A and B are shown apart, each in its own frame.
Chain A
Amino acid sequence: MLALLFKNFIRSKGTKIGLIFLLIIGFISLLIGQQFQQKQHNTITEAAVYQKEHIARNAAFHKDEIGLLLYYIKFSLVNKTLPINSLAIGQRDVNPSIQSVTIRGLEAQKYDAELNNPNNLLSGNIDFSFVLIYLFPLLIIAFSYNLVSEEKESGTWKIVATQTENTFLYILKLFYIRILSLILLLTIVLFVAVLFLNIPFDTSLLTFYGLSVLYILFWFSISFFIVSLQKNSNFNAVILLTIWLFLIIILPAIINTYVVNKYPIPEALELTVKQRNAYHEKWDMDKKITMDKFYNHYPQFKKYPLPEGEFNWLWYYAMQQAGDDDSSKQSQELENKLQQRNNASQLIAQFIPTLHTQIQLNEIAKSDLGNQLLFLKETKLFHEKMRLYFYPKIFDNAEVSKENWSKFKVETFSDSSEISLLKAFLPLLLFNLVLICFGWRNFKRKVFS
């Protein structure tokens, strides 16, 4: 019986075209993912080469003055790109995966944007998560909108109803073969992805897979529910597409607009205006004010008194430091605001399965705002580390040639935050259960009576 149903399903021209189309676009998404991976990899290699040359060249030019040398040289920190990132590029194309900073004021450097074609950003990537979230549901709808209703419309349903002992089981079987073929397709694409993109076989991948399966089941649950209402095919098609439209286009857009308007970020511009003044005004102030602030922040440097003379590097870096310190309030406010935005979106997303899946996939792939915020925090620590290493050398006017400059390699930050399985799976599980229960109840009422 099952084999016959499957034959009947797979023989239809539409089914074949649909499955092949999805398979091809799935593979295309892997190609795009691979190109992204390659680009990230190249950027990191270039950054390493560039940093080496850049430091060596500047160290040769400014060999007498370490304070001046450190005015110029930049140190890079890389936000590690996991291979699984190629499946869900997320916000990694918007945000830079490399921060290159001098030890001068951080606030003026931290938010430097990536070079981008806004057209590419607007239309979005065709990564695997797009195929999963946008296109799989369309195929699921196409495969199941006319189940039962078509047989009723063509008059064959009565034959089915009289020939099968349990019509509900028959309907379940119809769904079963469709679910199986799409999950098989998902598995094939992800299996190829693992080999093609060198994705390690670990919990991240399994969570990714589990979430994808649940997401596919979610759309089948919706179809199951709509089919259980036993309306005509046209009605089913219109209502399912409208649900798709709501979950994928309208609701995310409404929520996004809501979050953006609820948490506007004037702090960003305030910070940038503030840090400029905070540093530059020190040039026109009594040096003692700046130095007191500096010694307050770093008591360990009190042993370096301000030398005589109009200009020296101790004062210069104290001014740069003051730029950061005086705008730290604005900086903190901006950070909080971004955190609030992220929390609000994640909270609301739990009630919208499409949004939830996208955000969770990106969380697994470390490509969402959460990862970016951690990277910014890490950049701050990295910057502080470099500062504290070089401050005493600058204040002692250490010899440039004594320093082993080749040891300053590009450093890497890996985001080790764990995905909570409960948080990832529970919303989808609940939605599935509720829809199936209601669908089952509807069938029970109508099919059996």
Chain B
Amino acid sequence: MKLLQTEILIAKHLKNSVFKNSAVFIITLFIGLILLYAAFSGWENYTNQNETSEKYQHESREDWLKNPDKNPHRMAHYGNFAFRKSTPLSVFEFGMEPFFGNAIFLEAHKQNTANFSEAGFSNSMLRFGEISIAMVLQILLPLLIFFLGFNAVAAERENGTLKLLLSQGISWKQLLLGKVLGIASVIMMLFIPTIIVLVFIWLLLQNFTISVDETIKMVLFIGFHFIYLIFFCVIAVLISASSKTSKKALISLIGIWLVFTIILPRTTQAIGAYIYQAPSKIQFNSDIEKDILKQGDSHNPNDLHYKAIKDSLLSVYKVDSVQKLPFNYSGFIMTEGEKISSRIYNKHLEKLLQVYEKQNSFSKTISFFNPYIAMKNLSMGLSNTDYDSYIDFQKQAEEYRYNMAQKMNALQVKYISNKKPGPNEKPLTINKEHWADIAEFHYETKGVSDVLKSEIVSVISIILWIILLPVLIRIAAKNLKAI
């Protein structure tokens, strides 16, 4: 403890002088209020969204089970819904959530879009961004740190006290560390209460029964934000120490903040989107349709692919017409059709997702130079509100859809008679107890190890920044001059 005595003394001094300034006091209080509002509205939004999606997921399941005896293919068109649910951490980090579709209708033959996103229901106000705890921690607190720290060293230089300090035997390293500690201790007065409230809300939302996975995510969320804020404290002190006047320090810091949080995130993504153009929906769908037609159209009686299947079935079962086959022929054909169409759809989807990945690659790479993007990506990953989580949701829904459609086809092949009913006969049906064989859709959020894997670039870049900080302080300590 004796080792850091000087540093702590400097830190205490800075803290005291900061709180003599009433403007700082007001700003800090205000950020505190915004944090409270963010926590409250995040909670409200989360409970609204999850209650609604749970309610209708449940209701639509009841509806599905209530269906009377019918032809399984009718049921495949009756379909199911996948409603998106949020994770507890998304109370604090909305990420891309407002742009995600909240419901996908899952039916046979057709991959529907994820509809009803918050963005589709909002006017352009939404595009200014949303207020969440993560936004305050990632955007507002760094600016506050800069406001607190711009004159940490530069002001001492301006009024001549810097020379005094250094001539009294305090080393540059001690001075810099002390100043960093001072700013950090002020910021911690906001950060620590925030974290306590955060953890409390988080526990409350899960009724105090928490999973290991969620706990690790929460710990990482807190830990990374802590590192992130310390990083900005160091930057503030270093820039202040290397600037001639406090005004220059302030202008440079504001510039850095603007570039990191406003300019770079938008431009890098825009560059990606400009260079790699994604196809429109019409083009995407018509490409799929063309490919399916090439493979064979099950609606066309003269189609070669399906004619070949028919001929081989007839010869294997040694019958002369499909009506004499021992199983339901049209169910069999639909199984084949579903297999082909979803294979083609998935192939095109993969291609589309590759374009998106390329678009995103610019801003992912830039996270090595911009801790804000690294932090943002990581916290979106941990709260399952990032790009990968959304794609994951869509894939799980598609897998569920495919299994449901094929299960219904299998029921048709097995239980529906091959003989078509006459024009005035009742349609062929199967017992309604089969409907319960299809499990309810359940969205499994990505675990922490998958999240870290997909956001590995961000993790590495934050680790690199941590290593870089002491190095920067050492270099600065060697080269800085008192005047």
B410 CB–A CB distance under 8 Å? no
What sequence of 0s and 1s flags, for each residue 54-92 of chain B, a beta carbon within 8 Å of any chain A beta carbon?
Answer: 011001100100011010001001110101000000000
A155 CB–B CB distance under 8 Å? no
A345 CB–B CB distance under 8 Å? yes
Q: Tell me the dominant secondary structure on chain B's binding face.
A: helix
Q: Which A residues lie within 8 Å of B23 (CB)?
A: 238
Q: Which residue of B lies closest to A122 (CB)?
A: B96
Can you sample 28 A-B contacts with CB below 8 Å?
A50-B282, A61-B300, A114-B113, A115-B284, A123-B265, A130-B266, A237-B251, A245-B143, A249-B128, A250-B131, A250-B140, A253-B135, A256-B125, A257-B45, A257-B130, A261-B48, A265-B116, A266-B48, A268-B121, A269-B52, A269-B116, A273-B60, A276-B79, A309-B423, A309-B424, A338-B121, A355-B128, A358-B127
Shortest C-beta distance, B269 to chain A (Å), equals: 4
B258–A280 touching, CB < 8 Å: no
Interface residues of chain A, those whose CB is within 8 Å of chain B, are 31-32, 35, 39, 42-43, 46-47, 50, 54, 61, 90-91, 94-96, 98, 100, 108, 111-126, 130, 134, 138, 233-234, 237-238, 241-242, 245, 248-250, 252-261, 264-266, 268-270, 272-273, 276-277, 280, 283-284, 308-311, 338, 341-342, 345-346, 349, 354-355, 358-359, 362, 367-370, 372
Q: Which residue of A lies closest to B147 (CB)?
A: A238
Bin the interface of chain B by size. 35 or more
Given contacts A309-B423, A338-B121, contact A358 B273 (CB under 8 A): no
Given contacts A248-B128, A260-B118, contact A96 B281 (CB under 8 A): yes
Q: Which A residues lie within 8 Å of B278 (CB)?
A: 115, 117
A341–B130 touching, CB < 8 Å: no
B117–A113 touching, CB < 8 Å: yes
Measured between alpha carbons, how far is A117 from B388 in the docked complex, in Å? 11
B63–A234 touching, CB < 8 Å: no
Instruction: Spot the interface stretch: B166-174, B327-335, B352-360.
Output: B352-360
B399 CB–A CB distance under 8 Å? no
What sequence of 0s and 1s flags, for each residue 127-146 of chain B, a beta carbon within 8 Å of any chain A beta carbon?
Answer: 11111000100011001000
What sequence of 0s and 1s flags, for each residue 142-165 of chain B, a beta carbon within 8 Å of any chain A beta carbon?
Answer: 010001001100000000000000
B131–A253 touching, CB < 8 Å: yes
Q: Which B residues lie within 8 Å of A280 (CB)?
A: 67, 74, 77-78
Residue among A46, A237, A309, A310 making CB contact with B254, cutoff 8 Å? A237
Q: Which residue of B lies closest to A141 (CB)?
A: B254
A121–B280 touching, CB < 8 Å: no
Given contacts A115-B113, A120-B273, contact A254 B280 (CB under 8 A): no
Q: Tell me the dominant secondary structure on chain A's binding face.
A: helix
A117–B121 touching, CB < 8 Å: no
B427 CB–A CB distance under 8 Å? yes
Q: Which B residues lie within 8 Å of A368 (CB)?
A: 123-124
Shortest C-beta distance, B33 to chain A (Å), equals: 10
Q: Which A residues lie within 8 Å of B280 (CB)?
A: 39, 42-43, 46, 115
What 15 new A-B contacts, CB under 8 Å, besides A118-B96, A254-B37?
A91-B123, A98-B282, A100-B282, A112-B112, A115-B280, A117-B356, A119-B96, A120-B269, A234-B246, A237-B254, A241-B143, A253-B129, A269-B83, A368-B124, A370-B123
Shortest C-beta distance, B183 to chain A (Å), equals: 16
Measured between alpha carbons, how far is A32 from B271 in the docked complex, in Å? 9
B8 CB–A CB distance under 8 Å? no
Q: Which B residues lie within 8 Å of A261 (CB)?
A: 41, 44-45, 48
What sequence of 0s and 1s flags, for each residue 30-59 of chain B, a beta carbon within 8 Å of any chain A beta carbon?
Answer: 000010011001001100100011011001
Residue among A238, A273, A359 making CB contact with B125, cutoff 8 Å? A359
Q: Which residue of A lies closest to B268 (CB)?
A: A123
Shortest C-beta distance, B79 to chain A (Å), equals: 7
Q: Which A residues lie within 8 Å of B115 (CB)?
A: 111-113, 268, 272
B224 CB–A CB distance under 8 Å? no
Residue among B41, B102, B147, B247 making CB contact with A233, cutoff 8 Å? B247
Q: Which of B59, B270, B297 has the most CB of A within 10 A?
A: B270
Given contacts A119-B363, A268-B116, contact A355 B125 (CB under 8 A): yes
Shortest C-beta distance, A441 to chain B (Å), equals: 23
Measured between alpha carbons, how far is A31 from B274 in the docked complex, in Å? 9
B105 CB–A CB distance under 8 Å? yes
Q: Which A residues lie within 8 Å of B41 (CB)?
A: 257-258, 261
Give the residues from 275 to 316 in chain B that come closer than 8 angstroms, CB to CB, to chain A: 277-284, 286, 289, 297, 299-300
B250 CB–A CB distance under 8 Å? yes
Residue among B45, B117, B270, B426 making CB contact with A125, cutoff 8 Å? B270
Given contacts A112-B115, A134-B262, contact A94 B56 (CB under 8 A): no
Q: Which residue of B lies closest to A355 (CB)?
A: B125
